[in-house]
C-alpha cells in the first residue's frame, strides 16, 4: 500500500495515469544480478589499486637506483601510473552510474573476498591471489606496450 492509496487527489481528473505509474515505479526496489561485463568491471576495480601500488613501489626503487636510464624509467612509470589513475576514475564513474558498489570483505588463505552490491542485489565475490597476480601481469604488460608504442612513434 502506497501513500497515494486513500488519497482522493489521485482519483481526480487532474492526475494522469502515467504520473501515478511513474511515482509508484520510482519507489519500487529494483534488484538485478550483475552482468558478466559488470563482474569484469568489479574485478578491474579491485585490481587497479593493487597495480597502482606496485607501480608506486617501482618508482621508489627506480629513484633509489643509479641506473643511467633512470629518468626514462621514471617517465614510463609515471605515464603508466597516470593511465591507471584515469582508468580508475572512469571505472568508478561507470560503477556509480550503474549503482554498483564493491566492498572489501575478508581474506581467507589464498582467496580475497569482496561484497558486490548491484542495484540492491548483494553477492559475495572471491578472487584467488594467483589469479590477481596473473591478471595484474597481463594488464601491466598492456600498459607497457602502450608506452612502447608511444616511444616508437616519437623515435620515427
Instruction: Determine the distance from the C-alpha atom of residue 84 to the mean position of all C-alpha atoms in its chain, rounded to a whole number.
Output: 11
What per-residue confidence (pLDDT) applies to 80? Answer: 95
| Cell 618508482 found at | 59
Q: List the Cα angle 127/54/67 in 5-degree steps.
A: 150
pLDDT, tens only, 92-148: 999 999 888 998 888 888 889 999 988 888 888 888 999 999 999 999 999 999 999
From the list 80, 101, 88, the residue with the least C-alpha distance to 150 is: 80
Domain positions in the chain are 33-155
Q: What is the reported pLDDT for 106? A: 85
Is the pLDDT score of 1 beyond 70?
no
- Residue 63: the pLDDT is 93
Q: For 93, what's the count of Cα atoms within 13 Å in the CB-facing half-sphere?
A: 6
- Determine the pLDDT at residue 84: 96
pLDDT in tens, 24-35: 666 555 667 888
Please report, for residues 5, 9, 94, the alpha-carbon distance to residue 15 in angstroms, rounded to integers and kept in the order given: 14, 8, 36
For 50-101, what is each residue's pLDDT tens digit? 999 999 999 999 999 999 999 999 999 999 999 999 999 999 999 999 888 9
Q: Quote the strand ranges of the chain, DSSP E.
A: 100-108, 111-118, 121-128
**pLDDT for position 5:** 61
**Residue 31 to residue 120: CA distance in whole angstroms:** 5
With bands split at pLDDT 50, 70 and 90, how would you rate the model's confidence at 150?
confident
Amino acid at each position: 500500500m502506497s501513500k497515494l492509496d486513500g488519497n482522493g487527489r489521485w482519483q481526480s481528473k487532474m492526475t494522469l495515469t502515467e504520473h501515478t505509474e511513474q511515482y509508484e515505479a520510482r519507489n519500487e526496489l529494483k534488484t538485478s544480478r550483475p552482468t558478466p561485463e559488470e563482474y569484469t568491471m568489479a574485478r578491474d576495480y579491485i585490481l587497479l589499486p593493487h597495480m597502482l601500488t606496485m607501480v608506486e613501489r617501482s618508482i621508489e626503487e627506480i629513484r633509489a637506483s643509479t641506473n643511467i636510464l633512470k629518468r626514462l624509467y621514471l617517465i614510463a612509470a609515471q605515464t603508466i601510473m597516470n593511465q591507471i589513475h584515469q582508468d580508475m576514475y572512469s571505472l568508478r564513474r561507470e560503477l556509480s552510474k550503474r549503482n554498483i558498489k564493491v566492498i572489501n570483505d575478508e581474506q581467507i588463505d589464498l582467496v580475497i573476498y569482496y561484497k558486490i552490491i548491484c542495484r540492491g542485489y548483494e553477492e559475495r565475490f572471491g578472487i584467488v591471489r594467483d589469479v590477481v597476480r596473473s591478471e595484474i601481469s597481463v594488464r601491466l604488460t598492456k600498459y607497457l606496450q602502450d608506452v612502447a608504442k608511444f616511444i616508437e612513434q616519437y623515435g620515427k
